[in-house]
Amino acid sequence: MTRIPRLAATALFGTLALAGADAALAAGPALGDAAKSSINIHAISMFVAFVLLTLGITYWAAKRTRSAAHFYTAGGGITGLQNGLAIAGDYMSAATLLGLTAMVYTTGYDGYIYMIAFFVGWPIILFLMAERLRNLGRYTFADITSYRLDQGRVRTMAAVSSLTVVCFYLVAQMVGAGQLIKLLFGLDYVIALFIVGGLMMIYVTFGGMIATTWVQIIKAGMLLCGGTFAMLLAMSHFGFSYATVVTEATAVHKLGFKLFQPGALLADPVNAVSLGVGLMFGTAGLPHILMRFFTVSDAKAARKSVLYASAFVGYFFNVIFLMGLCAIVIVGTNPEFFENGQVGGRIIGGGNMVVMHLAKAVGGDLLLGFLAAVAFATILAVVSGLALAGASAISHDLYSRVIMKGKATEQTELRVSKIASIGLGLVAITLGILFERMNVAFMVGLAFGIAASANFPVLILSMYWRGLTTRGAVAGGYSGLVCAVVLVVLSKLVWVQVLGFATPIFPYDQPALFSMPLAFLVTIVVSKLDHSRAAAAEKAAFEDQYVRAQTGFGAAGATAH
Amino acid sequence: MNEAVYARIRANPKFVSLVERRGRLAWTLAAIVFVLFYALVLTIAFAPGVIGSRVAPGSTLSVGIAAGLFQFVFFWILTALYVRKANTDYDALTAEVVDDAVAADVAATREAATTAAPAAAAAVTPPRLREASGGARR
């Protein structure tokens, strides 16, 4: 029991882990000791209902998944609203619900800073990328980076960095999923991993993007409704008045009104800015998020997707903030939720359980069961999106374009992507078991760092800069990848917490502030120095690409269902 | 066919003006987001006391929460503004530019076909049509 608090900010809950850990981590040194709780009937029955519903949808989707376009992008037939919900479902992981509530509960304003940083990537994606992504891309973001460059080398690089991002993110989700399910449902860790991995394989292999999208939409709906309901019930204890919540919360919290002051976490300016850069641009380089832009019919719907997604995400972050504040009073003063009934001591189940305790306090076992089912559904939706993005990188980029040089038939490409989905599921389960007792916090930091350093710079330059050449893209992409990995290894998260050295060589938690500019610099310098004939042709090809990016003329259209 | 249409679009002054206007709006909005967000981050790093203070004496609202809530709302309004402008005005202009170019290209092709020998026209036309119908991809 003693080590659970670490769970949130580290293992699964993605992005929080980035720099996040300190607040939630103070309590324990390692993962893996999450105690099995008694079996929760409400939670399990609601989760079973969710699984049956999504399996029904998968069956329906499987009949519609006839072509590669259906498998990768749902045939481009998703509407802006549906895609907006799915993006929100893809983006808000269990970290959002559990980890951020816990962070507001313990450190107040720090939690709010994270939420703002997670949010601001969206307007930037809309203004600078959404339209061009849709107009240039088809199945993977490598379609865009390799548009006028050497297919083999650029796609290989994009696939390598995509798979790296996906694998690290998957492992972090899987380890967290196992721990969380053990806690919420009382199931064994390994059984939990097989359930998550197995369901993920079924959704992705049979239902492709259509099923994955609907799993994400349903989950987003559940999350938004459940969270809103819990927030309203909690706020009713305070007469729906923000002033009352704050007055009571600051009266009982040990920080008092300092609850609203930034904590030590972001005291270092370099760390604070690096975190901002990592979260903002990491989001814009995550393959499973980018892929969602290819599921809509045109640029218009792509823009609408961001409008809806950012509304849902922004709204929900503020719901979470209110829940965290209410929990300070409702959970934080109730002996029922503390070990041995000692208020101010250790919270039963660990810091991440704050929102679950809040649900129980204001809505009884039924709401607790519902939120627990939502948390499980959330993990399923996120890992499915990740697996689909990874499978596309393998089948569309590596197999079809690099190995077969575009000569593979659609049927074999589809078969490869299904085999890849199953392979990724097995890899995720295996790694989840191997890493059960390890601090996997660094993996999420690494995933965001790589996304911001290897994917984002090449992607944005390919869309905006005529002078980009194959040599520049490949050199820049790989140097961003290597630099991000090395800096994370040398940072506290790995160098000290995993490898056991006394002091970190790289003093910051998030590498993006250094690795992302390096990737830009290398890409630009190498491109400038590249005077080959191929480079000249690549630069010349920018003109037509530019017109297509701006107008959508010649873009991959929606296919009939 | 695509290449010819791209060249026509590029030569259209309406296209140049479309790209300029939409680009200016997008970069202005992005700059606003960058500046406000990093200003908040730097204030958090360098003046945490300001962030934690109350907006007015006795108020329960702190400066940091007010600033954060403002960013959520304001940035979302900016996205709504951009989507509205791009999905109506700019998309209408885009459609116009593309339609003009395609129409001009079709007319030019037909003209070339009628002036050239019938045999040559037959040799030229089918591949172009094929390309046009399957031309969703490069």
What three-state secondary structure class fits B60?
A: coil
Give yes or no for a contact between A278 and A514, defined as CB atoms under 8 angstroms apart. no
pLDDT tens track of chain A, all 561 residues?
Answer: 333 333 333 333 333 333 333 333 333 333 334 555 556 788 888 888 889 999 999 999 988 888 888 889 998 889 999 999 999 999 888 777 888 898 899 889 988 998 998 899 999 999 999 999 999 988 899 999 998 998 899 999 999 999 999 998 888 888 888 877 877 777 888 998 999 999 999 999 999 999 999 999 999 999 999 999 999 999 999 999 999 999 999 999 989 999 999 886 677 888 888 888 988 899 899 999 999 999 998 999 999 999 999 999 999 999 999 999 999 999 999 988 888 888 878 888 777 789 989 999 999 888 988 988 888 888 888 999 999 999 999 988 898 888 888 888 888 888 999 999 999 999 999 988 988 877 666 677 778 888 999 999 999 999 999 999 999 999 999 999 999 999 988 988 888 887 888 889 998 888 999 999 999 999 999 999 999 999 999 998 898 898 899 888 888 765 544
Name the residue among A147, A260, A266 with its Cβ closest to that of B45. A266
Q: Do B52 and A109 touch (CB under 8 A)?
A: yes
List, for chain B, all residue ranges whose pLDDT scores fall below the cut of 50: 119-138
Q: Does B138 touch chain A (CB under 8 A)?
A: yes
pLDDT at A478: 96
Query: Which of the 8 DSSP states describes residue A148?
Result: S
On whether any CB of chain A is under 8 Å from the CB of B35, the answer is no
- Asked whether residue A66 is domain-assigned, the answer is yes
Task: Please check whether residue A162 lies inside any domain of the structure.
Answer: yes
Residues of A in contact with B44 (CB under 8 A): 113, 262, 266, 272
Residue A42 located in a structural domain:
no
The total of structural domains in chain A comes to 1
So what's the pLDDT on residue A181?
A: 82
A158 interface with B at CB cutoff 8 Å: no
Which residues contact residue A10 at a Cβ distance below 8 angstroms, ignoring those fewer than 6 apart? Answer: A17, A21, A24, A25, A31, A439, A440, A441
CB A153 within 8 A of CB A138: no
* Residue A561 located in a structural domain: no
Backbone φ and ψ for A2, nearest 5 degrees, come out as -65, -20
Own/partner long-range contacts of B49-54 (Cβ < 8 Å, ≥24 apart): B49/A261, B51/A109, B51/A260, B51/A261, B51/A262, B52/A109, B52/A257, B52/A258, B52/A260, B52/A261, B52/A262, B54/A257
Q: Which amino acid is at B23?
A: G
- Residue A476 falls inside a structural domain: yes
Q: What is the ipTM of this complex?
A: 0.87
Does A560 reside within a domain? no
Residue numbers in A near B76 (CB within 8 A):
123, 310-311, 314
What angle is formed at CA A46 by the lines to CA A42 and CA A47, rounded to 5 degrees? 115
Predicted confidence (pLDDT) per residue in B28-54, tens digit: 999 999 999 999 999 988 888 899 999
With an 8 Å Cβ cutoff, are B136 and A556 in contact? yes
Separation of alpha carbons A85 and A70, rounded Å: 19
Nearest to A94 by CA among A200, A1, A184: A184
CA A552 – CA A548 distance, rounded (Å)? 5
How much is the pLDDT for A556?
72
Sign of torsion, CA A269 A274 A98 A374? positive
Asked if A453 and A512 touch (Cβ cutoff 8 Å), the reply is yes
Residue in chain B lying closest to A265 (CA): B45
| A225: nearest Cα among A363, A385, A40 | A363
Q: Does B77 touch chain A (CB under 8 A)?
A: no
Distance from CA of B16 to the nearest CA of A (A): 10
Pick from A123, A126, A242: which is nearest to B60 by CB?
A242
**Contact (CB, 8 A) for A437 and A32:** yes
- The CATH number of the domain holding residue A218 is 1.20.1730.10
The DSSP letter of residue A34 is P
Per the structure, the complete domain to which residue A387 belongs is given by: 6-19+50-551
Q: Given CB atoms, is B91 within the 8 Å cutoff of chain A?
A: yes
Position A508 scores a pLDDT of 86
- Chain B residues touching A304 at Cβ < 8 A: 83, 87
Amino acid sitting at position A453? S
Asked, for residue A403, whether it belongs to a domain, the answer is yes
Min CA distance, B117 vs chain A (Å)? 30
Report CB contact under 8 Å: A258, B40: no
Residue A94 placed within a domain:
yes
Compare all CA atoms of chain B with the CA of A548 and give the residue at the minimum distance. Answer: B6
B19 touches chain A (CB under 8 A): yes
In chain A, positions 102-131, which contact chain B (CB-CB < 8 Å)? 109, 112-113, 115-117, 119-120, 122-124, 126-128, 131
* Probe site for chain A from B20, B36, B72, B73 (most A CB atoms < 10 A): B72
Interface test mutation site (partner B, options A134, A250, A547, A559, max chain B beta carbons within 10 A) = A547
